[in-house]
Amino acid sequence: MSGGTGKKGKKKGTVMMIKHGEWAFETAEKIKEKMKTVAGRNRHKIPYTTENGVYDDWTEKNICWWTNGFWGGMMWQLYRTAGYELYKEIAVETEEKLDRNLLDHAGMDHDSGFKWLPTSGARYLLEKNPESYNRMLLAADNLAGRFNPEGNFIKAWNDGGTGEKAGWAIIDCMMNLPLLYKASEFTRDPRYKIIAMKHADTVLKHFAREDGSVKHIVEFNPATGEYMRSYGGQGYKRGSAWTRGQAWAIYGFFLSFLHTGEKKYLEQSIKTADYFIDHIPRSGGIPVDFMQPETCSWEDSTAAVIAACGLIEIGKALSEERGKKYEEAAEKLLRFIAENRCNWDSSIDNLVERCTAAYHDEEHEFSIIYGDYFFIEGIWKLTGQELFIW
Ligand code: GLY
């Protein structure tokens, strides 16, 4: 199992341990304590959010929902460090349930990395089992099949066969590319990696802005590859800076650097990280969009924890002197969440609160499963317990 990159004398493939305050270790223990009971009473679910403090279940609601891998991922992170068999059983059950998605072509979109890296990918790291390997390659083949060679982008969402979204690419997809990098490693076939890098290069060219921020959605002409327009997507408006999108870019570009060694991806990850850090409000809570009106107080804690995970990785990849800024910013973000945006009551299922899916949705500031997943991943990074799944 791997702890991400390894500057400062640590190679890829080692567990990374960086010096952090006691609070991180105490938080890790609190997570383990709470999750023991939470996992037990939710064992047959695949949660997305909570209703009155109780995790909901997407097994029948929509097995193809993009977040369905995170519950399994949480279980593997917990299993890896707590060794409690129930966690493994839940993770395997989730992975097996996702086979219905693998067989549903209309339910396969660009989110295959989010679904199968925390489930099959995590299990394969630990067990080298053929079933998980098979699932990863099926998912990778489908993801690679979404590549448009005219615009050099991976089509994000489906559109029910209308073609309306045939030219849409989104920043989130940067986090799905590791599935392709891994598929090339597994098969020694470079095509998956070539597709991933071509997509990443398109994102560098058409999503990244001069100030370091990134767009959420870009539309290309799917027949000619011509750049058409951008959309504000889940952020405030066109031209704004949706915070979770910034976080996906920080971590996602870093991962392309990790898998390819290409410095241009690290540079973009750092540029977006600098933008993110410069825009963190004094309060410490991360807004839904860095450009939302000052009168709007909506937060998205998922952006905080995802960005923190990316910042820690950047910090580890740089020299100690240069990396300090990113590690300190990450620790501050995670500590703020642990102390101000977590629910530690064991009768409540979720950990992280005040998460927001999209600025223009009707509901804001609730619990979202990937907030819990990346919070655990971030705390595990700080305390040297992470199973590095990306
Ligand atoms: N990947 C979808 C989202 O971040 O909401």
- Shortest-distance atom of ligand 1 to CA 170: 1
- Which CATH number goes with the domain that contains 302? 1.50.10.10
Other CB atoms within a 10 A radius of the CB of residue 134 amount to 13
341 belongs to a structural domain: yes
**In the block, residue with structure tokens 């990850």:** 269
Q: Please write the tens of the pLDDT for every residue from 83-100.
A: 899 999 999 999 999 999
Q: Taking Cα atoms as reference points, which of 9, 1, 12 lies closest to residue 261?
A: 12
Cα-based distances in Å from 194 to 140, 259, 314: 13, 12, 23
- Residues 6 or more apart whose CB falls under 8 angstroms from that of 318 comprise 7, 326
Residue 281 has a pLDDT of 98
**Residues lining ligand 1, judged by CB closer than 6 Å?**
66, 172, 234, 244, 357
2 belongs to a structural domain: no
Q: Candidates 114, 244, 368: which one to mutate for ligand 1, based on the most atoms within 8 Å of Cβ?
A: 244
Residue 21 has a pLDDT of 83
92 belongs to a structural domain: yes
- Shortest-distance atom of ligand 1 to CA 244: 4
352 belongs to a structural domain: yes
Q: Please give the torsion angle defined by the CA atoms of residues 320, 321, 323 and 329, in that order, rounded to the nearest 10 degrees.
A: 120
Give me the number of domains the chain comprises.
1
1 belongs to a structural domain: no
148's torsion region: left (phi>0), alpha (psi -120 to 50) or beta?
beta
Query: How many Å lie between the centroid of ligand 1 and the Cα of residue 172?
Result: 6
Low-confidence ranges of the chain (pLDDT < 50): 1-18
Residue 20 has a pLDDT of 64
Query: How many Å lie between the centroid of ligand 1 and the Cα of residue 151?
Result: 22
Domain span including residue 103: 7-383
The angle subtended at Cα 91 by Cα 119 and Cα 171, nearest 5°, is 30
Q: Please write the tens of the pLDDT for every residue from 178-203.
A: 999 999 999 999 999 999 999 999 99
107 belongs to a structural domain: yes
- Shortest-distance atom of ligand 1 to CA 370: 4
Percentage of the chain lying above the pLDDT 70 cut: 95
74 belongs to a structural domain: yes
Task: With beta carbons less than 8 A apart as the criterion, state whether 118 and 72 touch.
Answer: yes
